[in-house]
Structure 1
């Protein structure tokens, strides 16, 4: 079948193929979902190098991350060259119109993972993405409490955040920033804000990289701002049995909702009623100067990078504490 979006026809092969067996959602359902929320999902993807998380046989089958633009890329879909921590490069797709989202959905892409940069400047992020990740013994409501406290921290340092569900148990808070800082700067800013949040909520929030040191707390995953780390875009479907959606929220909603409220079936109705509740985010771009001054003032230095990153300047030993003690 063909779907038409903004005057462009997109072919959908095998539209009755089941992608979410439990509720019975098909490829056609996925495509129609993305058509219904097209302005919102495109806001999060527009001109951003984007990794496609593809599930050719649905959520119960194998999946892979498509970082390089696939063969057969439509001539109207641009790409941008990005550099990985290893120094290798790749040309990634950069959606600029809703048809690009449907084209990816036809390839079995359920979740979009955009970089926090635009294709005209791939070295300077224009978003901080703060991931509040519940550890064992905590849940979404603990993440909500942390998010409210984070909102106060952001305000204290001249920043403003826009929250969304992760589609799982956690929350993401986005902060639009001026694109004049490096990935390292942005990561340091998130570390500083995370440490301040940890100071305000001792025992409830942690920035400890090693799981054995986190305890029952909300982990501020600062490494989501490391180069080549991405999180699910706003309005992305998540590969969970009920087809949950990473859904933008208003701050006043946080205490009233659950991640299970937002699915392929429910979010289009919400979008039709409210529109994209983060539509105004693109009108803002904040300075990181105060957050970076906080990082320097804290004097605690850097934290470990992900294991696939090369050793970085000022990084502490990347050794699990329990193993270090044995030596």
Structure 2
């Protein structure tokens, strides 16, 4: 297969990657070739981590942070320093060719780092990870949490995008101007979540211990950390049915969109009928310092709740 001027030898197209759905490695490769023009702009400036399943979901999978030595020279990499010392060479997906090549290497899912390749210390997005309470699959509860968060971000005059995770919940992403580090970003995200917890203590919690959550939605801001990743937009998830992490419009969420509504089988039809809802998201980058005063006022208005940390 020739893509972007690069010849890629496709191997084992007929291998079953999603046995229950009857989907093959070739189906996965074709999907990424087809959606690459939409997906790659969301990844091109960021290193990624790969979730690979050489034998499909019927075999063992693993995460790969370090680019393999046999990867071609044209596939970009980023020198990624480790906090404990040393570094690894993280791959980049900056072309359709890179996306298809890695799919042929049995990458089912790409996970994107939150900071760009040219400034790994400063994230250009803030993320909230919302899933139903442990032991439930109550989409309505997590949908309400996501919409409550959106309403609060509106109060703060923050633009945000929402995406299904292709798993149990939703990600809410706020684009940033990249001027503050991860610690400051996480502090702001935690304070935003703290306002929601104070307003709706019976619904939401920041308690990291599962036994303290007591059926409430955990407002997870921990991904706002150096070296953490989030599933990439339009990435297929390593789950039966091949669900896809799908950017949404807020009106779609209000109308009842669910985390696994879109799959490898129907996502291309969606893109043929509807423009990418995130196509302009990163044009609305926020300077977090400009929102601190309003956030402090909102925090002071609400009585502290239990388990805010």
SS of 1:260's equivalent in the other structure is coil
Question: 27-36 or 192-201, which moves further after superposition?
Answer: 192-201
Q: Which consecutive residues of structure 1, in runs of 5 or more, have no partner in the other structure?
A: 305-315, 317-327
* Partner of residue 128, structure 1: 126
Per the TM alignment, residue 40 of structure 1 is displaced from its structure 2 partner at its CA by: 2.5
User: Residue deviations 1:206-229, cap 9 Å, x none?
Assistant: 111111111212111111111221
* Partner of residue 47, structure 2: 49
SS of 1:149's equivalent in the other structure is helix
Q: Give matches, 1:175-324, under 5 Å.
A: 175-254=174-253, 255-293=255-293
* Partner of residue 75, structure 1: 73
Aligned equivalent of 1:18, options 9, 16, 19 = 16
CA distance in 2, matches of 1:156, 1:276: 25
Q: Which 4+ stretches in 1 moved above 3 angstroms? A: 290-300
1:102 equivalenced with 2:100 (yes/no): yes
Note if contact 1:163-1:250 (Cα within 8 Å) is conserved in structure 2. Answer: yes
Number of equivalenced pairs: 301
User: Residue deviations 1:108-136, cap 9 Å, x none?
Assistant: 10110111111111111001111112122
* Partner of residue 324, structure 1: none
SS of 1:234's equivalent in the other structure is coil
CA distance in 1, matches of 2:152, 2:83: 30
Distance 1:290 1:199, change over 3 A: farther
Per the TM alignment, residue 261 of structure 1 is displaced from its structure 2 partner at its CA by: 2.0
* Partner of residue 162, structure 1: 161
CA distance in 2, matches of 1:41, 1:59: 23
Per the TM alignment, residue 56 of structure 1 is displaced from its structure 2 partner at its CA by: 0.7
* Partner of residue 143, structure 2: 144
SS of 1:11's equivalent in the other structure is coil
User: Structure 1 length as normaliser, TM-score?
Assistant: 0.87
SS of 1:256's equivalent in the other structure is coil
CA distance in 2, matches of 1:293, 1:59: 48
* Partner of residue 319, structure 1: none
User: Structure 2 length as normaliser, TM-score?
Assistant: 0.91
CA distance in 2, matches of 1:237, 1:108: 12
User: Residue deviations 1:147-197, cap 9 Å, x none?
Assistant: 111111112223111001011121001111011110111111111111112
CA distance in 2, matches of 1:292, 1:80: 32
Q: Which consecutive residues of structure 2, in runs of 5 or more, have no partner in the other structure?
A: none
CA distance in 2, matches of 1:143, 1:256: 11
CA distance in 2, matches of 1:105, 1:153: 38
Distance 1:29 1:266, change over 3 A: same
Note if contact 2:114-2:228 (Cα within 8 Å) is conserved in structure 1. Answer: no
Per the TM alignment, residue 293 of structure 1 is displaced from its structure 2 partner at its CA by: 4.6
* Partner of residue 111, structure 2: 113
